[in-house]
Structure 1
């Protein structure tokens, strides 16, 4: 989901917008198609650099690479982090709503399983891309921001684990890595299927010791932890905290990207962008006002906005929700004004990470851009066939229940933070051209890549 038009949201219920104190006032030349040139003064962010990321221990990153693709972390040992955040798919899975624990394969070829192992429901939200999540400026993670930096529970974070999240996690990304393994439909499995699935229905922190024991009992992993963490002297000392720290180090190192044509341009190379990309840049920062939300080095304001995206799927429901739906940020804050608001994602490498939206409602960049220009009209015209949903007959009957719920649709339509805007087709083409200029040149040549095998000897997706 990205907010390409100006918003009108209630600032006192949003996190403070990042102050961009280091901007470059650049004078750019935009070459119009009919041969005339015009000059525009634009405030652009300073180039993203290594200093903007959390420092990584490469020993931990190499350990995290193996853990990321090792199914030993899942309840039934049949899914890994890499299954839904795969190198071949830009760090995501190419689906609107993913197929989690119980499925087979990756991406659009992933099947929902058979017999007692088949999935019970789709993953409620789109698998987020991992690009630049190791940047220091991130204050919230997950679509609804349910993980944030805070000392509310005296462990450094406000999270779904509340006071049960262990101390010792050094960064937000490491804290995030604690949670997929506890999710029934993502990695834990269903009750009575395995020890981890049972533990997660008991209390969330009962899961982590089981996983850490599994991992440290594999000799190769045990030796790597002792080598990678200075405070670990014996394999028995390894906990889920160290596992999460290793995963964080890998994601941070692996999915850094700041070598796009845009980065060359703001560093002073006026020839780094094509004429169409320059026109699109001007639209992005001026007429289309995309930068009011997609601001700064990472192209996000780290705030939450309601875009009236077409609803479908099981939804991330609360215990008392009467039907399948997703109220977004409100589920975390309990504030009615936060209903249907979701976090602005970074759009670096956005060309690699479709489908788009918190539920992957749109499968092309053009379609999500056009939605931003006229949200209510786009919502009205949206068709279920636009969703990338693998065929799962036993859950498909609820896929579009919420979309057919007139009352829920009315509530979504009443909560829209962006105003309609008109752009000509050629302007949309230029805007899309600029978005391609945010794709890193080495986005497909990452430092560590996917391992061929892992210490558990389980198959690697």
Structure 2
């Protein structure tokens, strides 16, 4: 009888053993739960939702944070390189604007997804990692604003939200057009009080800030830190994703579809994707060179003579960091193309195939793959001019951190299926969504 009980016991644990074996290199430590996100005040998040969609934060009051990170587009804009301040419309239908208001330059990099930025483990943001937690400047962050970034920002997302407001081609506007962009040219922190003053002149915003923040009693108490913290509270609560088929697999062993399961085994095994896309966030939050096709205006430094993007080196000034970019997180990745720091590939399959053999993929890439809406001719002329610089192209092509690997077409399809298993089942049902109107009265896109 005793032996029978032991035999039954063994039989009962077999499914659990099979589940643990099936995890491969993944583990329960890779689970994400609601407790893994930074705390956010609900009233501040509701205020942040309105600010996120309100164009009053932009220099010319014609673009909002949501323009490039819209709910209808899974928190992105669907473009390789965005059309920022001066443009009209959303996503692939966005135009370059008209007359003197038309854009003068595309946004140099692809609009990054917002999913899971509020996770407590996030320690680097932007494609080049130019914002990280740090005590270097006494305000909690190492950022482009250095010591002029204000103290009192709640988290890295609150800090990040302030920089598009002062970026000329994203939200600030061109020189001579408004006081915000003029102040930015003097020093970045000169612009933020002007934006805060705009908000504090709107009676409904004053009421909402007084309600959400204990230290705001009058309109004059509202400063850019409150705005950043409200935006951060909204972003960190609104764009959470931890209810995907993959999460169900990690949480309780719910089987993935056969194709996705085969892709998961490849991802954590033969394809070696998890060497960079690791941990709970499916990102090592480090920087790697993939030799992606170069195009667009580039994120140039003051002394760059050509429209190039040197990636991480632009932040560190360390030569070995050249052309390296941050590993993106992958939940909801199937919803947030185009892919790469400049949106070089419109499909997951294309991006995966580039990883398999970057040098060959670079040679085979064609310009029609870039999602670039029509812009004025003088802007469009810059789109591919960098590709005529043979020396720069040779430098970028020589910097590859990935070892080529052979996968069959069927295996590529399996990896794509696994990427789709990272899509949250409630991705289109966010807690707050898009507001119908904002306190400034400016129409909401």
Superposition TM-score tier, normalisation by shorter sequence: over 0.9
Q: 2:277 aligns with which of 294, 309, 317?
A: 294
More strand by percentage? 1
How big is each residue's C-alpha offset from its partner over 1:323-377, in whole Å with a ceiling of 9 and x where there is no partner? 1100000011111000000000101100000000000000000000000000000
**Is the 8 Å Cα contact of residues 29 and 278 (structure 1) preserved in structure 2?**
no
How big is each residue's C-alpha offset from its partner over 1:221-272, in whole Å with a ceiling of 9 and x where there is no partner? 001001101122222101000000000000111100100000111112333x
Q: TM-score, normalising length from structure 1?
A: 0.91
Tell me, in whole angstroms, the C-alpha distance in 1 between the residues paired with 2:23 and 2:50: 48
2:84 paired residue number: 100
Task: Give 1:396 shift.
Answer: 1.1
Task: Give 1:382 shift.
Answer: 0.5
**Is the 8 Å Cα contact of residues 60 and 250 (structure 1) preserved in structure 2?**
yes
Tell me, in whole angstroms, the C-alpha distance in 1 between the residues paired with 2:379 and 2:219: 43
Which consecutive unaligned segments of at least 5 residues does structure 2 have?
Answer: 1-15
Q: 1:313 aligns with which of 281, 296, 300?
A: 296
1:327 paired residue number: 310
Q: 2:392 aligns with which of 394, 408, 411?
A: 408
More helix by percentage? 2
Change (3 A) 1:351 1:40: closer
Which secondary structure state, in structure 1, belongs to the residue aligned with residue 162 of structure 2? coil
Any residues of structure 2 matched to 1:119-130 within 5 Å, and which? 119-130=103-114
1:434 paired residue number: 418
Task: Give 1:28 shift.
Answer: 5.1
Task: Give 1:46 shift.
Answer: 3.3
1:15 paired residue number: none
Any residues of structure 2 matched to 1:59-70 within 5 Å, and which? 59-70=43-54
2:439 paired residue number: 455
Which secondary structure state, in structure 2, belongs to the residue aligned with residue 248 of structure 1? helix
Is the aligned partner of 1:375 residue 2:365? no
Is the aligned partner of 1:202 residue 2:186? yes
Tell me, in whole angstroms, the C-alpha distance in 1 between the residues paired with 2:280 and 2:17: 18
Change (3 A) 1:41 1:257: closer
Tell me, in whole angstroms, the C-alpha distance in 1 between the residues paired with 2:104 and 2:161: 23
Task: Give 1:27 shift.
Answer: 5.3
Q: 1:346 aligns with which of 322, 329, 347?
A: 329
Tell me, in whole angstroms, the C-alpha distance in 1 between the residues paired with 2:319 and 2:414: 37
**Is the 8 Å Cα contact of residues 27 and 41 (structure 1) preserved in structure 2?**
no
Any residues of structure 2 matched to 1:177-216 within 5 Å, and which? 177-216=161-200
**Is the 8 Å Cα contact of residues 27 and 42 (structure 1) preserved in structure 2?**
no
1:134 paired residue number: 118
Tell me, in whole angstroms, the C-alpha distance in 2 between the residues paired with 1:28 and 1:372: 31
Q: TM-score, normalising length from structure 2?
A: 0.94
2:252 paired residue number: 268
**Is the 8 Å Cα contact of residues 68 and 80 (structure 1) preserved in structure 2?**
yes
Is the aligned partner of 1:50 residue 2:34? yes
**Is the 8 Å Cα contact of residues 36 and 119 (structure 2) preserved in structure 1?**
yes
Change (3 A) 1:27 1:333: farther
Change (3 A) 1:371 1:233: same
CA RMSD in angstroms, aligned pairs only: 1.3
